[in-house]
Amino acid sequence: MNDSKTSSSVGLVSPQRFRFDEPLRLRSGKTLPAYELMVETYGELNSDRSNAILVCHALSGDHHAAGYHSESDRKSGWWDACIGPGKAIDTNLYHVVCLNNLGGCGGSTGPVSINPATGRHYGPDFPIITVRDWVNSQVRLMERLGIAQWAAVIGGSLGGMQVLRWAISYPERLRHAIAIAAAPKLSAQNIAFNEVARQSITNDPDFHEGRYLERGVHPKQGLMLARMVGHITYLSDSSMRTKFGKAFASLQGQQGNFGRDLRSGSLSFGFNIDFEVESYLRYQGEQFSATFDANTYLLMTKALDYFDPSVDYDGDLSRAFAKSDCRFLLISFSTDWRFPPDRSREIVNQLLKAGKHVSYLEIDADQGHDAFLLPIPRYVKALSAYLGHAHRELCRDAS
């Protein structure tokens, strides 16, 4: 048994499926007549139902944020580093809720689901989903769970964007908004990388205009490429140097800032893999494309591209936050070049302009955008302290 399935793990968990039969009107103008959401929860909901935290996932995440699905499970949930008894999001204090978002491929209604109107997989007919749509669907889940107000809504990256949308659209529904490694909207460079990912997928001969499931294939190569591009943007230049620089440096008989690692000590003089980073990237791409749905990937990139809560306020994000009533915590990571600290500071500045209560923490970390998933001591301690304090306040308010 994996030794992290110990006292600091939430242990064995099972997802629950919730069905919603009330139609959901989407930002695109389309309507989902009904939908299902896959949900996991960790920790006990207290008697006044005030200690619930919503965790929002990012591009490739799902409802399985912590713990294990079986004793033989080798991999824990995607945010197990931060969720568990005694961890930053402490399940001894909080009831944590995490769902697979609409359009996902983790079990919630999405492109791989059967479209009741046709009896076939939705595939490319699944409507474009925005962050706002997700939050609207999450409000219904909240109501179903009998939770009137989240103690906090927390997410990193695209998850952080959902946090911001919660604070804007449902100000009375959360006490704390914690957005990590997020951005107020995507940069042109961010969109450009997403476009490359989309082109990779849609150019794959197995894509069949999104109807690949009906043909019993899937655009594996295209999705692999998309993930490889994405993966480069999740890692920092320096973390890649650290990860792939050592063997080469030692091969060369000196400590060096090499940034690359020859696989075998000599060049192939062909198009085989020469450097560890190539092998690593291909492996990451292959692993991902074996399990993730390509149409979902397309939808997720569009949700990112479209995110811009300032759009209803003539581009003035501070006005978007005018009615927000929660406390904000923004966290960024020094080497994140996907959503760098500057992007978090933009949000902080707009919150300050709107007169909101905001804390901001910039963490020195070598791991790039991926840092938000990792147990980086200063980050975990800060999140833990913030949520510990929030819990004491919660108890004080209740008594």
Among 61, 106, 155, 222, binds its own copies (CB under 8 A): 222
Q: Which is nearer to its own copies, 280 or 386 (CB)?
A: 280
Q: Just list the catalytic residues.
A: 157, 336, 369
Cβ neighbours for 218, distance < 8 A, ≥ 6 positions apart: 206, 212, 289, 293, 294
CB distance 360 to 345 below 8 Å: yes
Q: How far is the CB of 340 from its own copies (least distance, A)?
A: 9
Return the residues of window 76-135 that contact its own copies according to CB under 8 A.
Answer: 127-128
Enumerate residues 6+ apart whose C-beta is below 8 A from 177.
Answer: 152, 153, 163, 164, 166, 167, 324, 326, 327, 328, 329
Return the residue of 14, 47, 117, 188 that touches its own copies, per CB under 8 A.
188
Which of 348, 339, 343 is CA-nearest to residue 369? 339
* Count of residues of this chain found to bind its own copies when the rule CB under 8 A is applied: 68
CB of 377 to its own copies, least distance (A): 25
Strand 327-333 to 176-180 pairing: parallel
Instruction: Report which residue type is found at 173.
Output: R
Nearest CA among 172, 160, 180 for reference residue 326? 172
Inter-CA distances, 150 with 172, 178, 180, 211, 290, Å:
9, 12, 17, 39, 35
**Smallest separation, CB 42 to its own copies (Å):** 35
Specify the 3-state DSSP secondary structure of 382. helix
Of 73, 125, 278, 325, which lies in the binding site for its own copies, with binding defined by CB under 8 A? 278
Among 58, 105, 213, 235, binds its own copies (CB under 8 A): 235
| Binding residue (CB under 8 A) for its own copies from 47, 70, 254, 399 | 254
256 lies in the site for its own copies, by CB under 8 A: yes
Binding-site string for its own copies from residue 8 to residue 47, where x marks contact by CB under 8 A and - marks none: -------------------xxxx-----------------
Is 265 one of the binding residues for its own copies (CB under 8 A)? no
Alpha-carbon distance of 361 to 348, in angstroms, equals 10
Chain contacts with its own copies (rule: CB under 8 A): 27-30, 127-128, 185-189, 191-193, 195-196, 198-200, 202-205, 221-222, 224-225, 228-229, 232, 235, 237, 240-241, 243-245, 249, 252-254, 256-261, 267, 269-271, 274-275, 277-278, 281-282, 298, 302, 305-306, 310-311, 314-316, 337, 346
